[in-house]
Amino acid sequence: MAKTIEYLRGARADFDESFDWYAKRSVGAAIGFASAVDEAIDKIVANPHQFPSTFADCRYCALNRYPFRIVFRKEMDRCIIVALAHAKRRPGYWHRRT
């Protein structure tokens, strides 16, 4: 079980850009997006090893109802959020962050 979550700067920017995109279209969609991210983070914290592996010892958790994946790396008692990646755009753009 991971005790803390930390975001890389790029991952925080991913969230902010996506949240703003949804907010310009619908406040409800933006709030739903943030809630889906929170739900996924709760799952990651509870059991990070349940998620599929991907590039460079990272794992990912897909969001419910939104086409995004939280890409993270487990380190000791923390999880590092590497990216909040759109599932169908710019695959692998976050690889340089690992």
pLDDT by residue (tens digit) across 24-35?
999 999 999 999
Handedness of CA 7, 75, 37, 42 (dihedral sign): negative
Q: What's the whole-model pTM score? A: 0.85
CA distance 29 to 46: 26
> What per-residue confidence (pLDDT) applies to 88?
79
Candidates 3.30.2310.20, 3.10.20.90, 3.30.465.10, 3.20.20.140; CATH matching 4-87: 3.30.2310.20
Average pLDDT over residues 87-91: 72
Three-state secondary-structure class, residue 64: coil
Residues, the chain = 98
Token couple for 98: 């690992």
Q: Are 73 and 79 in contact (CB under 8 A)?
A: yes
